[in-house]
Structure 1
Amino acid sequence: MTTSAKAQGPNNDWLKTYYFLRFAVSTIWVALAFTVGKTMPPLAAVMLVAYPAWDAIANYLDSSRSGGLGRNKSQMLNFVVSIVTAVAVASTLGHGMHDVLKVFGIWASLSGLLQLATGVKRWKSYGAQWAMILSGAQSVLAGVFMLKQASGAEAVGIANIAPYAAFGAFYFLVSAVSLTVSDARRRSKTAVA
């Protein structure tokens, strides 16, 4: 990686911190969804709105470290899509969980495509983005699965969304660890040379 490439985007330390933060927030959300979220509908409602809202905030924070939303079109679109999703979830809650799951399915597919695009763009400068690319692709598939579940007759709830968030947490952890390992290897080669 050249110095100019590093100057154009977020530094690897920020990216690792960002991925670890995304992992931690998603893990907490999943734990709450599988426990108290299943038995406390008001808390589940807040959590369902908060999840895409957090994604919007996270995309904004990350893009601000690499030139802002204007320079990072996929993150800008993800920011907008996530805000619209949070509003759509809030307004759909009164219609039932099948409709909420449809909104989440559409969001998962769109945000997955945008995350995949961000990962591909970052690969050029930072490498170690394969997990984010896989996560984006998995998000698209999860979205399709949620849409299928939403059109079914079985009861659905926050627990139907939690596995999607859990896979996201896993991929963020893998990305953080992958960057940490690649940085350690690069530092080791530099020290030897």
Structure 2
Amino acid sequence: MTNQTDQVLSSHTWLKSYYFTRFAVSAAWVLLAFAVARTIPPLAAIMLVAYPAWDALANFIDAQRTGGLNRNKTQLLNFIISVITTVAVAVAMGKSMNAVLAVFGVWAVLSGLFQLATAIRRWKSGAQWAMVLSGAQSALAGIFFVKMAGGAETIDITNVAPYAAFGAFYFLVSAVWLTVSDARRRPAQAVR
């Protein structure tokens, strides 16, 4: 294998691990939200605060693995907005679930745009088309959340869970896409 191929495979190894982990955590969050948290408000509150906190941590770790926060400005911004959102969700919990959903909406718009920008920057890494779709869909979902938060509908954790489910799906698609891409690349390199 060439050095360039080795670098691509090394980059893919990290991204596959990262995307599979993001999928697993998001999928577990969604299952817990629908199965248990919707009937246990204290658990739902903890999960709603933990969701942006996890996103902040994941962005921080990914940026550190790929050159640091100074080199990855979109992830730095995503990290910052996710930390702020974690605090804002905790504060909004004292007001209403509509306030929580509004905070999630603003966060979904901003983090979606930062995710989209990160995916465009990483385009050559492969499988970023799913992350572009995920970022765009996140931004659109955020607008929907803000609109819904202003209505009279009863809001609970299950209003956020489908958003997390779509995120999990896109992370899984990217991880599988990179896995298949790497599997195809290895035999092609072995022939050379």
After superposition, give the CA deviation of every residue in 1:9-65 in whole Å (9 maximum; x if it has no partner). x72111100000000000000001112110001000000000000000000111111
Identity of matched residues, %: 65
Change (3 A) 1:58 1:5: farther
Structure 1 position 192, deviation (Å): 2.0
CA distance in 2, matches of 1:143, 1:47: 18
Where has structure 1 moved over 3 Å in runs of 4 or more? 2-8
**Structure 2 length-normalised TM:** 0.95
Instruction: Determine the structure 2 residue equivalent to 1:50.
Output: 50
Question: What RMSD in Å do the two structures reach over aligned CA positions?
Answer: 1.8
CA distance in 2, matches of 1:6, 1:142: 38
**Structure 1 length-normalised TM:** 0.94
AA of the residue aligned to 2:14: W
Give the unaligned 5+ runs of structure 2. none
CA distance in 2, matches of 1:160, 1:130: 26
AA of the residue aligned to 2:43: L
AA of the residue aligned to 2:174: S
Mapped pair 1:35 → 2:49: no
CA distance in 2, matches of 1:188, 1:102: 49
Change (3 A) 1:6 1:138: farther
Instruction: Determine the structure 2 residue equivalent to 1:129.
Output: 128
Give the unaligned 5+ runs of structure 1. none
AA of the residue aligned to 1:164: Y
After superposition, give the CA deviation of every residue in 1:127-148 in whole Å (9 maximum; x if it has no partner). 2211011000010111011111
CA distance in 2, matches of 1:21, 1:138: 20
Structure 1 position 178, deviation (Å): 0.4
Instruction: Determine the structure 2 residue equivalent to 1:169.
Output: 168
What's the secondary structure of 1:99's corresponding residue?
Answer: helix
CA distance in 2, matches of 1:5, 1:80: 33
